[in-house]
Amino acid sequence: MLLVLFVSCTSSNSSSIDFQQLSDKEREQMAKEIARNTIIVDGHVDLPYRMHHQGFNIEKGILNVSQSTKTGDFDYPRAKAGGLDAPFMSIYISTKYQGSGGAKLLADSLVLMTKKIAENWPDKFAMAYSPADIISNFEAGKISLPLGMENGAPLEGNLQNLDHFYEQGIRYITLTHGKDNLIGDSSYDTTYTHGGLSTFGVEVVKKMNQLGIMVDISHVSDDTFLDVIEISEVPVIASHSSARYFTPGFERNMDDQMIAKLGQNGGVIMINFGGDFIDGDFGESNRKVEEHLSKWLEENNYEKDEPEAMAYIEAYKSENDPFPSVSQVADHIDHVLSIAGIDHIGLGSDFDGVGDTLPTGLKDVSMYPNLIAELLKRGYSKEDIEKICFKNIFRVWGEVIDYSKKN
């Protein structure tokens, strides 16, 4: 296995430290050290979608994420500050393309766009198609850009397109998105078109196994998930999902039975940081805050970008913060640990994909150390954190690669 070739550079004596006995400041410093010296893989970052909507094209150039950016959650300086080494670039395809056509064409464009990042700034970024690539890039001080496709619509009903996307570098596919598609049913849809995977979807999962593409069950319905678990010959992932225990009725998250089955399958759930995924009350709390601010602006005849209004908004949100905390994100990790164990947890932030809903203390890619510090405070060891940050997803990815080589 690839993992035996890699040894974390974190200080060797840190494993004997009782992190719970440290002060908050000492733990924060230790968390930064761990983040800096340990590979951090994030299962889902929507940078390609962000670039697409900011008017990217090959002739005019590309959003310069090699420098600090005023918008979005990801850029090179913030990623390095947070210790992020391998954000899976989400090749997100809206469900509208399932009806209008053009899904494959857009996916190809987004893949090309992502590869341009590595081409434009080869001293900072590099593509990665395996755990070995990520390790090599990490040792060279570069941020890896592995590719995952969100929504299987670009397959357009043709299994041969799986070969195409594998050759393009796609290493996981989120089978559905917001609506049922040709592969299976979505957690956000209530049509239940197929009652789980379609006949085509069964063939998709089998061929993904054969090619070495990880199957991602984020966004699928519960029935689709159960079909995938039954059919897949290798572990599967949830690239950006959290625990439904904390968000009752939110099928987009995974319930306890699904988490248990994912663990039995050998898979990994990569925790989504978005407010709606972490706190079942976030939507209502945030709505009340926004309603108050909208009413205040109207009553006082202010635009929200005026200095007086901005000062009021900042103060009000500080006093009536609707956003989840880093502690609540750690609660999801604790919950998965209690059901499936430490070997089945990862990080899948959904940065650049969930808008202004991110937890206080986890607002962008510079802030992973805040979560690590919270886990240290709860008694997680350095070895536990390494599993969460990269070893668990590397294990699954390695098993998928090994199976494909034998088939």
pLDDT in tens, 123-140: 999 999 999 999 999 999
pLDDT digits (tens, 9 = 90+) for 189-236: 999 999 999 999 999 999 999 999 999 999 999 999 999 999 999 999
Backbone angles phi, psi at 182, to 5 degrees: -70, -15
pLDDT above 70 coverage of the chain, percent: 94
Q: Given this model, what pLDDT does residue 5 score? A: 38
Q: Given this model, what pLDDT does residue 407 score? A: 87
Q: In this model, does residue 14 exceed pLDDT 80?
A: no
pLDDT digits (tens, 9 = 90+) for 96-126: 999 889 999 999 999 999 999 999 999 999 9
Cα(264)–Cα(400) distance, integer angstroms: 16
Q: Given this model, what pLDDT does residue 161 score? A: 98
How does residue 70 score in pLDDT terms, banded at 50, 70 and 90?
Answer: confident
Q: Given this model, what pLDDT does residue 291 score? A: 94
C-alpha pair distances (Å), 27 with each of 9, 40, 80: 18, 18, 19
Q: In this model, does residue 61 exceed pLDDT 70?
A: no
Of residues 55 and 43, the one with the higher pLDDT is 43
Adjacent-strand bridge partners of 248 = none
Amino acid identity of residue 290, one-letter, is E
Mean pLDDT across the stretch 88-98?
Answer: 96
pLDDT above 90 coverage of the chain, percent: 86
- Average model confidence (pLDDT) across the chain: 93
Tokens of 33: 């050290």
How does residue 176 score in pLDDT terms, banded at 50, 70 and 90?
Answer: very high
How does residue 9 score in pLDDT terms, banded at 50, 70 and 90?
Answer: very low
Residues 6+ positions from 26 with CB-CB distance below 8 Å: none
Q: In this model, does residue 16 exceed pLDDT 90?
A: no
How does residue 11 score in pLDDT terms, banded at 50, 70 and 90?
Answer: very low
Tokens of 37: 């010296």
Q: Given this model, what pLDDT does residue 62 score? A: 72
Mean pLDDT across the stretch 165-184?
Answer: 98
Say which CATH superfamily domain 21-279+324-406 falls into: Metal-dependent hydrolases (3.20.20.140)
Q: Which of 233, 222, 157 is nearest to 404 (CA)?
A: 233
Residues 6+ positions from 92 with CB-CB distance below 8 Å: 46, 48, 49, 110, 150, 151, 177, 353
Cα(254)–Cα(236) distance, integer angstroms: 14
**What distance lies between CA 70 and its chain's CA centroid?**
21
Q: Given this model, what pLDDT does residue 56 score? A: 57
Residues 6+ positions from 107 with CB-CB distance below 8 Å: 91, 93, 149, 154, 165
pLDDT digits (tens, 9 = 90+) for 258-287: 999 999 999 999 999 999 999 999 989 989
Can you give the residue ranges of every domain in the chain? 21-279+324-406, 282-323
Q: Given this model, what pLDDT does residue 60 score? A: 54
